[in-house]
A and B are shown apart, each in its own frame.
Chain A
Amino acid sequence: MSEQETVYKIIGKATPRIDGPAKVTGKMQYTSDIMLPGMLYGMVLRSPHAHAEIISIDTAEAEALGAVCLTYADINPIVYNERSVSIPAATYRDRTVLPAKARHFGEPIAAVAAASEELAYQALQLLKVEYKVLPAVFTPQEAMADGAPQLYEQIWLGEEKVAVKNNIGVIRNIEEGDVEAGFAAADRIFEHTFELGRVYHDQLETKGAVCAPEADGSLTVWCTAQSIHANRQLLGRVLGLPLSKINVKKLPLGGAFGSSIQVNTVTPICACLALKAGRPVKLISSREEDFYSHQKYPSVFEVKLGVAGEGRFTAAQVKCLVDFGAHQVQPLPYMGCVAGWFASLYRYGPLRFLGTAVYTNKVPCCAMQGYGNPQINFAIESMVDIICEEMGWDSVEFRLKNHRGVGDEFWGQGPTIRSIIKSCGVPESLTKGGEIFAWKERRPHTEKSGRYRKGIGVARGFHTSGTGGPKEGEVIDYSSCMVKINEDGSVDLISALMDHGGGTWDAMAKIVSQTLQVPMRMIGLSPTDTRNTGYDVCTHATRGVYCGGAAVLYVTNKVKEKLLEYAGRILFEHPAALEIICDEELGQGVIFAKNYHQKSITIGEVAKIAQINSWGTIAYTDSYRQRNCPPCFTTHFLEVEVDTLTGEITVPKALLYGDCGTVINPVLIDGQLIGSFNRGLGYTVYESLDVDQKTGELTNKGLLVDYKTPTAAEMPAAENVLVHWTDTYEPSGPFGAKGIGEAALASVQAALANAVYNAIGIRFAKLPITPEVVLAALRAIDN
């Protein structure tokens, strides 16, 4: 065996994920699985009105039943925003733990805790609430009309009081270059409006918390969270406790897709109940409650693009209107991000973004895989198809010519966080993808007839990898971790970074394994908590591997320095003359003198000797910030089949082309791309949330049976789901890696809509494209 072949390389290898066995055997505990002695069960009373003042809540009968009750009168009425990823000065605050006024149907009004779920339910029925029902608004147009009912008179931006007029929560306008001159220089100007409604995360684990008061006056919290530190900090403010008295445990998440980027509404409620009761309380949302908790930002985009005859843009403008519901979970950064995703797609020349986000009496919207990226991508990538169709250009060629790539600026999290693109798989994915999908042989819709019509569509997208830039902007971004070599050569990895299921923890362990040459089975991921970890902003913005992984690599390299220094003392060698090579059979990393392998010692022996000699533990802890936000790119080539009799759209074949830089674990990259395609299919052809325009109640009443998501049966045959990734290396990433998670969804919707156009010649600018919508459009043509 050559020396090259003996080198242990785990980055890039398809390996079973580190948490797989615990999950597959059912041993993994999630928030709802936590059971504590003497625990009470919490339940939430929710508003039956979309907009109503709460005159009084009578808890006497519920308390007589033995329940602990929580109302507005019990809570500390500090005003906060559930999401704390942005800096305080860029964060609007408008809510309290429980409200004095109900602002949407299903809003939590009061809560109870009792010895059993049955008793809690009975107590809930005994709460007597007197409401003064107010008129409500359900569309931005209604909300902005003069004389419309107002949800708020004033809110806070950082520490500043802000008056709310016409229910407008945020206005965000961004302009670069001389836009009017750009449009004046255009040979053609294209204008279209696109509309994406509300959809729901439908993460399989509903939001919940278990909170336990401890003997030392502290509170231990288990909750669905994308950041345990964000939960701790908000609970500290709400409960008036020092952060050292609040300990949030790190748990696996049963999916998130953004649904826990903020502190979940039920978590502070549960914490207040537990402190009032003086006993542990478990509060897990039902699926119906979860539907009323948070939803995806809907958006209407009026897009105006100028093009010159030689096949390039001259100017671009997007007007964006967002109905974000009854509370701000940060439409301000949402619109900044939408502007950034828009700006970063193509070299338009001058550009303008005009964003307005409006309060309505609906469920608050929060992040959902892409934070506006799939929304604006649908609009722009549909527009590119429209333009190329009209101008007679090949849309793949057009994309290749105009996309932002290496050397161009990328806005990773709105206008304040930008970096220069250093790696880009767009040319490879469009060119090779086109070859695989026989793009050049695509026939126009005019040549298609019969009941079943097939079409091919393409779209390209991206997402950021994290929110770090050369300069700090509106968004906080760093991770912390500790790496510790134990006296048997095993390694503890202690980090607050959360894993929604995408495999972030697996990537972190692989980075340690590769760097210290220790087999994966010897690496332990600490089931840690906020007390034992440094701050980690959140697992969001596709930052897990790129930012969290980079922090792990940084800290592990420091540990490696210390390890080699101690090994050098023992072996009488300079640390630079040493190397570590994994001995998988031995289960150890072994340190050798370079070019003299007879001289060696295992990592475990070094750690043991360091302990016996009282040199200390070989460990290091620190925080680390990435100073770039490289885009991870995706291209989707999709084939659809439209049944013109039923209006049903199916996907016989899909090519998912990803650029994540170095692949850490191919199995997990496949999983991200395929899973995102599945969800994108749902958002494009099935999913929408509507409210009753009189009551504000969801028309599906929060029932999953009336909110259809794609099942296995709706997926293309496995052999027709082609997954490829580009050969790219991101110089700023750990081992050359970028993210992939949110990028994987970005261009699915546009590629599907473009394929539908190629099948039947109808352009759908509003999602979802349900069978009813397809049939109505076909009939309109016939007539």
Chain B
Amino acid sequence: MSGTFEINLRINGQEAVLPTTAEKSLLRFLREHNYWDVKCGCEEGDCGSCAVLLDGRAVKSCITLAAACNGREIWTNRGLGRTDELTKKLQAAFVESGAIQCGFCTCGMIIAAKHYLEQGGKADRSQIKEAISGNLCRCTGYVKIVDAVYGVALEMGTGGI
């Protein structure tokens, strides 16, 4: 096994110095340190269940190396839900719209939706569909998820947030 070393990073707003190894993915690193709202669906960059924000950009943590995150900032859905108004809105909208069934994709979906809206994404269902098409959901058929994001986007567009 390769050697263990420490990395400095901010996770969900808190400074952390945590051990990792060169080959460890950010997904495994986060889950080992109890950030288990970051889900492992495929570990090959396909399903998006493991999405987190890395310096404000949505990334799939299973194909991101933990070691590459030294000095960087990570937010997971659970952390964002405690402090970030937009995420709170999205979370409430997902519950209201019926965008949740088994819930395994949900945290990754919220990250994708937040990223879309923060990058200036509009209340346009077709663009929202594209924006979340890197995240798989086997339960819902996506329509209610699109509805949830659309609702929040509309509210943002009218200065609601």
- Interface flag for B95 (CB, 8 Å): yes
- Interface flag for B70 (CB, 8 Å): no
B82-101 vs A, CB cutoff 8 Å, 1 = contact: the mask equals 00000000011011111011
Contacting chain B: which of A115-123, A426-434, A483-491, A571-579? A115-123
Q: State whether B37 touches A26 (Cβ < 8 A).
A: yes
Q: Which of A27, A201, A202 contacts B37 (CB 8 A)?
A: A27
* Closest residue on chain B to residue A255 by CB atoms: B102
Which B residues touch A612, using CB under 8 A? none
Q: State whether A717 touches B126 (Cβ < 8 A).
A: yes
Majority-rule SS of B interface residues:
loop
Complex Cα gap A408–B68 (Å): 65
- Interface flag for A394 (CB, 8 Å): no
Q: State whether B94 touches A20 (Cβ < 8 A).
A: yes
Q: Which of A287, A501, A667 contacts B103 (CB 8 A)?
A: A501
- Interface flag for A781 (CB, 8 Å): no
Which A residues touch B94, using CB under 8 A? 20, 24
Q: How far is the CB of A704 from chain B (nearest CB, A)?
A: 4
Q: Tell me the residues in window 650-676 of chain A with beta carbons closer than 8 Å to chain B beta carbons.
A: 667-668, 670-671, 674-676
Which A residues touch B126, using CB under 8 A? 717
Q: State whether B77 touches A674 (Cβ < 8 A).
A: no
- Interface flag for B110 (CB, 8 Å): yes
Q: Tell me the residues in window 564-621 of chain A with beta carbons closer than 8 Å to chain B beta carbons.
A: none
Complex Cα gap A347–B9 (Å): 68
Q: State whether B95 touches A20 (Cβ < 8 A).
A: yes
Q: State whether A709 touches B141 (Cβ < 8 A).
A: no
A459-479 vs B, CB cutoff 8 Å, 1 = contact: the mask equals 000000000000000000000
Which A residues touch B76, using CB under 8 A? 26
Knowing A20-B100, A255-B104, A704-B46, say if A712 contacts B138 (CB, 8 Å): no
- Interface flag for B81 (CB, 8 Å): yes
A7-21 vs B, CB cutoff 8 Å, 1 = contact: the mask equals 000000010110111
Knowing A667-B98, A703-B44, A704-B44, say if A254 contacts B125 (CB, 8 Å): no
- Interface flag for B17 (CB, 8 Å): no
Q: Which of B34, B36, B91, B101 contacts A25 (CB 8 A)?
A: B91
- Give the number of residue pairs across the A-B interface with Cβ within 8 Å: 179
- Interface flag for B105 (CB, 8 Å): yes
- Interface flag for B43 (CB, 8 Å): yes
Which B residues touch A287, using CB under 8 A? 41-44
Q: State whether A17 touches B95 (Cβ < 8 A).
A: yes
Q: State whether A676 touches B141 (Cβ < 8 A).
A: yes
A524-545 vs B, CB cutoff 8 Å, 1 = contact: the mask equals 0000000000000000000000
Q: State whether B138 touches A122 (Cβ < 8 A).
A: no
Contacting chain B: which of A30-38, A550-558, A630-638? A30-38
Knowing A709-B138, A711-B133, say if A118 contacts B1 (CB, 8 Å): yes
* Closest residue on chain A to residue B92 by CB atoms: A24
- Interface flag for B59 (CB, 8 Å): no
Q: State whether A713 touches B102 (Cβ < 8 A).
A: no
Knowing A28-B103, A500-B102, say if A21 contacts B95 (CB, 8 Å): yes
Q: State whether B98 touches A671 (Cβ < 8 A).
A: yes
- Interface flag for B143 (CB, 8 Å): yes
Complex Cα gap A252–B141 (Å): 20
Q: State whether A712 touches B129 (Cβ < 8 A).
A: yes
Q: State whether B77 touches A678 (Cβ < 8 A).
A: no
Q: State whether A26 touches B78 (Cβ < 8 A).
A: yes
Q: State whether B78 touches A25 (Cβ < 8 A).
A: yes
Which B residues touch A728, using CB under 8 A? none
Q: Which of A24, A252, A254, A255 contacts B95 (CB 8 A)?
A: A24
Which B residues touch A286, using CB under 8 A? 43
- Interface flag for B74 (CB, 8 Å): no
Q: State whether B103 touches A675 (Cβ < 8 A).
A: no
Complex Cα gap A255–B102 (Å): 5
Q: List 12 A-B contacts (CB under 8 A).
A: A203-B138, A204-B49, A205-B104, A254-B104, A667-B98, A670-B98, A675-B140, A712-B133, A712-B145, A712-B146, A718-B147, A721-B141
Chain A residues in the interface with B (C-beta under 8 A): 14, 16-17, 19-30, 32-33, 35, 117-119, 122, 201-206, 252-257, 284, 286-287, 500-503, 667-668, 670-671, 674-679, 703-705, 709, 711-713, 715, 717-719, 721
Closest 9 CB pairs of A and B: A26-B37, A501-B102, A23-B103, A254-B104, A678-B141, A667-B98, A26-B78, A674-B141, A20-B95
A253-B102, A712-B132 given. 14 additional CB < 8 A pairs? A20-B100, A23-B100, A32-B36, A204-B47, A255-B101, A255-B138, A255-B139, A257-B138, A671-B140, A704-B42, A712-B146, A715-B141, A715-B142, A718-B146
